[in-house]
Chain A
């Protein structure tokens, strides 16, 4: 069974897929670090409060069991204790509110950043647009954001259809992408690395498979990457890939995808000009390998049911060639 083999291939690709950092408790970006301090502080404080309340409850439940004879407790004493506990609650609440305000202030506003990247979410992938400059034309990529380490980066958040939410927990808290509104978020990575994020607002069938990678690298590496991305797609070298290019342009693929430098200029799917250079395909679904590309192209509706990539009928040769071509698009 061809379908079964393809599925097995796809699942295999999933099993050895990428591993990214995606945890609010492992922060590597300034905003996330501030929030983590707040989280640890509040959780510790609340744990103490809970233990105290439980100790009181336990004592209240046990005291009558131990002493058989008991003098009646004075109402006044109870009133004073309850009042004191209430006063303590007010103080703790006020303290946590103030701590929260200070954290918000420490994170700062996103408007001051030097680099601005536009992120447009759609069902169920992320379109990333880097504005051009005098030295370099702008370009689009998908599901992978490269940023220079140690710099503030402003992410402009837009949505093409429904509400999504951009969340890379190791770098910053989340922010929604609301159609008809423009939000923005400050990102700043303190350490080079690959940080995984995921759509956090329910957005339909494939909300579960809408991941995004933020790759923080040294400024020089970042610039090198940006220059290579702004270039048109390379002409494939090998015979497989060259045949794949022809097939790609002849088949429905080109109607939805753009490969800059070719006749493929579709815009409803992700830009594939440098798809081979991305770590994952299909919004973080699987690691980019020739096998996973083939599995994905052959049967996208099994790997990610309901997504908008159709199952295009291809011969096994066409499938091999097109995956080779995709992989070659570094």
Chain B
């Protein structure tokens, strides 16, 4: 071992074995509970995030089964209106804010640093903080639900129903504050992803060599950054209206009920793409791997992602077509809503072309991609339907829309996500999920999903509104509703099998090699699961498919320090190395800061003074977080 002139230990001085040992010492978290609470490893946090999000998926699924039980028969008395309203609100809020967005970002937390060939995400402590605050938000919502203070105003919380006069108690406040928790965590991740991708890519990975999943996460992160402030401002104004008597939404004093809808959907529509675009990246990744060739039309797909991201901000009014806005504006939003089908169509065509030209291998991840195509195209086409104002006046707020967005969100996001879990499970856990199980899971979910949700289109056209806890026997809906409820059991069985398979495989699945699928991207260039430092030597990239162009060898860079957590900063466009940079070490402060923030936010549901007194511990914990501890990472 020889140290360089400045006393640093560099990887150039070490053999492979010595290097791995030295890096493991530098990058590992301490063992035990303390290490679990203070770790800033993006893989540990990402895995934790994914697992938590899937727990929320399961809980949300249980709620949906309760709703199906209630709706199976007309005038059923299994769940009363008060509880039903809480259940459907919880289902929507939980799935959107605690499952769909976080799980996509969680996959990015785990895989983006690996795919761009760096050793940790940018701002690792912010990452840890983000997880704790997300967990706190989820617990707040669910504990409130258990103690009968669950929100009962819908996941959209329209005023005045959610406002001070009609939303009795703290139910709507819990919802609004849960928004703050989840949006803080989502915004934090978005910043981390953007900076990781812009500044921490492997040398040579210019922007046109970025894997498509990474591109999709960059666009998604920008959507988060631009869209989520709207909902934070909206939910804050709602709490202010309820707690201290502001008049943002009070028409009698110059406010406006529709202002809420504008703010909510200015966030709410991009939200759909925040969930869908990562799935596009997943599909692109899986299609490339299982057809054995790069996705056709890389540039077209990236342009489609960006175009979708921009158009996403011009559509929100199509959620308000029946609110009585001026006709001219509605026509504009019909055109823009229809137009978003063009980039979506382009993506579909590119994947079809890839499959056409490639040699498909029918493994479980690819099956989910096929299922995605079948279902998502239906969801996209019904999306075109509801973009039309007259069409929408008949189906808005009916089960047609319920069917539509489940086709888009389950077909468009959950199918790719499940495929991605099967695909990346070896990298997440070091073990492989079962292929025969996987086929059953796919079959049950695919069949169950379509049997459950397709009939809802018909119910909607037959006049069944959404968000009703029951319906009268004379309405011609009971047959289909019973059918849907029975089909939902198939769907639930599929998910149950998935959870069993995942838990079983994580414990005792077949041990995976570094690159079991023969994929092309950098996350497969390291062990499964990756060591704490990800790569012993950082890869150097000179093509879009680094592992396919040179299958036998990995081109790497050398010269990074091993005494401190060190990674490489490269230029934004061309990924030319610019500096070695330290990455912060483990810290308990993010957890403390999250606890302080949680206290302040929950307290502020009850008293405006919480903002004053509650922010003092937050400030203290943040100072503790950033105050240098004299470790090598803090100095230069």
Return chain A residues, CB-CB under 8 Å to B165: 161
The 8 Å CB contact of B346, one of A46, A86, A94, is A86
Give the CA-CA distance A162 to B353 in the complex, in Å: 50
Q: Does A202 contact B (CB under 8 A)?
A: yes
Q: Are A89 and B82 in contact (CB under 8 A)?
A: no
Given the interface contacts A61-B355, A89-B341, does A181 sit within 8 Å of B166 by beta carbon? no
Taking the closest CB of chain A, its distance from the CB of B411, in whole angstroms, is: 12
Q: Are A205 and B357 in contact (CB under 8 A)?
A: no
Give the CA-CA distance A200 to B154 in the complex, in Å: 13
Given the interface contacts A43-B385, A63-B356, A208-B469, does A181 sit within 8 Å of B257 by beta carbon? yes
Q: Does B240 contact A (CB under 8 A)?
A: no
Return chain B residues, CB-CB under 8 Å to A99: 388
Q: How many residues of B contact A (CB 8 A)?
A: 80
Chain B residue at minimum C-beta to C-beta distance from A164: B161
Chain A residue at minimum C-beta to C-beta distance from B323: A176
Within 8 A of B (CB), among A203-218: 203-209, 211
Return chain B residues, CB-CB under 8 Å to A85: 345, 349
Residue from A14, A63, A82, A86 with most neighbouring chain B CB atoms (10 Å)? A82
Q: Are B349 and A86 in contact (CB under 8 A)?
A: yes
Given the interface contacts A42-B385, A202-B466, does A57 sit within 8 Å of B397 by beta carbon? no
Q: Are B154 and A202 in contact (CB under 8 A)?
A: yes
Q: Are A38 and B390 in contact (CB under 8 A)?
A: yes
Q: Are B373 and A57 in contact (CB under 8 A)?
A: yes
Chain A residue at minimum C-beta to C-beta distance from B81: A205
Stretch at the interface among B34-42, B174-182, B374-382: B374-382
Q: Does B360 contact A (CB under 8 A)?
A: yes
Q: Are A103 and B390 in contact (CB under 8 A)?
A: yes
Within 8 A of A (CB), among B134-179: 153-154, 158, 160-161, 165-166
Give the CA-CA distance A305 to B76 in the complex, in Å: 13
Chain B residue at minimum C-beta to C-beta distance from A199: B465
Taking the closest CB of chain B, its distance from the CB of A299, in whole angstroms, is: 13
Kindly supply a per-residue 1/0 record for chain B positions 294-307, scoring 1 wherever the CB is within 8 Å of any chain A CB and 0 otherwise.
Answer: 00110010000000
Q: Are B258 and A178 in contact (CB under 8 A)?
A: yes
Q: Does A330 contact B (CB under 8 A)?
A: no
Q: Are B338 and A162 in contact (CB under 8 A)?
A: no
Q: Does B391 contact A (CB under 8 A)?
A: yes
Chain A residue at minimum C-beta to C-beta distance from B320: A176
Give the CA-CA distance A178 to B163 in the complex, in Å: 14
Q: Does B68 contact A (CB under 8 A)?
A: no
Given the interface contacts A39-B394, A50-B381, does A60 sit within 8 Å of B257 by beta carbon? no
Q: Does A163 contact B (CB under 8 A)?
A: yes
Give the CA-CA distance A54 to B348 in the complex, in Å: 11
Return chain A residues, CB-CB under 8 Å to B300: 82
Q: Are A305 and B81 in contact (CB under 8 A)?
A: yes
Return chain B residues, CB-CB under 8 Å to A172: 393
Q: Does A310 contact B (CB under 8 A)?
A: no
Taking the closest CB of chain B, its distance from the CB of A183, in whole angstroms, is: 4
Given the interface contacts A14-B473, A42-B384, A202-B154, does A179 sit within 8 Å of B391 by beta carbon? no
Q: Does A165 contact B (CB under 8 A)?
A: yes
Return chain A residues, CB-CB under 8 Å to B323: 176, 178, 183
Give the CA-CA distance A86 to B353 in the complex, in Å: 12
Q: Are B166 and A174 in contact (CB under 8 A)?
A: no
Kindly supply a per-residue 1/0 record for chain A positions 87-111, scoring 1 wherever the CB is within 8 Å of any chain B CB and 0 otherwise.
Answer: 0011001101101110110010000
Q: Does B352 contact A (CB under 8 A)?
A: yes
Given the interface contacts A81-B353, A204-B161, does A100 sit within 8 Å of B389 by beta carbon? yes
The 8 Å CB contact of A162, one of B161, B345, B352, B356, is B161
Q: Are B377 and A50 in contact (CB under 8 A)?
A: yes
Return chain A residues, CB-CB under 8 Å to B158: 162-163, 201-202
Stretch at the interface among B21-29, B327-335, B600-608, B617-625: B327-335
Given the interface contacts A82-B300, A100-B390, A163-B161, does A202 sit within 8 Å of B327 by beta carbon? no
Q: Are A73 and B356 in contact (CB under 8 A)?
A: yes
Q: Does A11 contact B (CB under 8 A)?
A: yes
Taking the closest CB of chain A, its distance from the CB of B372, in whole angstroms, is: 11
Q: Does A118 contact B (CB under 8 A)?
A: no
Taking the closest CB of chain B, its distance from the CB of A198, in whole angstroms, is: 6
Taking the closest CB of chain A, its distance from the CB of B84, in whole angstroms, is: 9
Taking the closest CB of chain B, its distance from the CB of A259, in whole angstroms, is: 27
Taking the closest CB of chain A, its distance from the CB of B504, in whole angstroms, is: 30
Give the CA-CA distance A211 to B381 in the complex, in Å: 31
Q: Does B75 contact A (CB under 8 A)?
A: yes
Q: Are B338 and A96 in contact (CB under 8 A)?
A: yes
Q: Does B96 contact A (CB under 8 A)?
A: no
The 9 nearest A-B residue pairs measured at CB: A173-B393, A180-B251, A183-B324, A100-B388, A208-B468, A22-B463, A46-B381, A60-B356, A24-B394
Binding site for A on B (CB under 8 A): 75, 80-82, 85, 153-154, 158, 160-161, 165-166, 251-252, 256-258, 296-297, 300, 322-324, 327, 331, 334-335, 338-339, 341-342, 345-346, 348-350, 352-353, 355-360, 370, 373-374, 377-378, 381-382, 384-385, 387-398, 461-463, 465-476
Add 7 more A-B contacts to A93-B339, A174-B396 (CB < 8 A): A18-B474, A53-B348, A81-B353, A173-B390, A178-B257, A202-B397, A306-B82
User: Could you give 26 example pairs across A and B, Cβ below 8 Å?
Assistant: A14-B75, A18-B474, A20-B474, A24-B395, A38-B391, A50-B381, A60-B355, A64-B360, A82-B349, A93-B338, A100-B389, A104-B327, A162-B158, A167-B463, A167-B465, A173-B392, A173-B393, A175-B324, A179-B251, A202-B85, A202-B397, A202-B467, A203-B161, A204-B166, A205-B85, A207-B81
